[in-house]
Amino acid sequence: MGLLDRNVALVTGAGSGIGRAVALGLAAEGAAVVVGDYGVSVDGRDPSSAPAEAVVREIEKTGGRAVASAENVATMAGGKAMVDAALKSFGDLHIVVCCAGILRERMIFNMSEDEWDAVIAVHLKGHFSVMRPASAHMREKKAGCMITFTSTAGLEGSPGQPNYAAAKEGIVGLTRSVALGMAKYGVRCNCISPTADTRMTQRLPGERRALATATPPEAIAPVVAFLASDRAAHITGQVVGVRGDEVTLFSHPAPLRTLTGDGAWTASALADVWDRALGQDRLRRLDAMGIQWPPKREG
């Protein structure tokens, strides 16, 4: 008996990396799986159905049930087609896991509109395109679970990935909105921030890549399987970090300090008191990257 017996799951980006590991892990726990993957390169080009079909064969070899859906989550039609594949093939949909993603790195002052749009479309819209039709089905059934994927780039920032960081932080907001909106229907939504060795992390520089490559994608799958199961039926709206055998619960944003004036503020009055009354919540990545802030003034 598995934790997910008689469940049907849809996993996007399931042809490689974390998505593949998640699809295999859910199948091992008894779920029938729609293996969704457009089959593109890491930068979103050259689609192929081969990656999804290969994962389906892996699942079937171990006695599991799976179908491939080589659709593009960057389109509403693609997202709906993946949901429809679950309903047509297995008659229901209980679990949605959104792992699909691409990268188009560039500093903000060099990034093109196409590089921005492509990454936002796959990551952020790619969550919405699947969650929109899935949530309608789950609302009707008054049951279901959706699991989204953010990243450290979204939670803490990433200097050379403004498009990716924006999409991943947007996914956190989407997660909280869906958790709130679907709670009265008994549907939950949680978010995972993974650290794992994938084709996307192979593009990271030096030390950041070393941290990621120390963790296999398979380490993420048990956390997803637990959150998707009835054992986690009471958990929603959470952001969970996973790195190897470490599982971290992130806090929700909350005010640190509040400054109240006697009347309307002026810019000069704020300048007089800001540093001692409010200060800053320092960007952790500044220290991790060895960047001095404030910068030294010349002369």
Q: Report the catalytic residues.
A: 164
How many of the other CB atoms lie within 10 Å of CB of 91?
9
Residues across the chain? 299
**Residue recorded with tokens 């920032």:** 157
CB 145 within 8 A of CB 188: yes
Tell me the C-alpha distance between 202 and 209, whole Å.
Answer: 6
CB 269 within 8 A of CB 262: no
How many of the other CB atoms lie within 10 Å of CB of 143?
16
Residues 6+ apart with CB under 8 A from 241: 192, 193, 194, 195, 247, 248, 249, 250
Tell me the C-alpha distance between 12 and 127, whole Å.
Answer: 9
CA angle 162, 167, 168 (to 5 degrees): 100
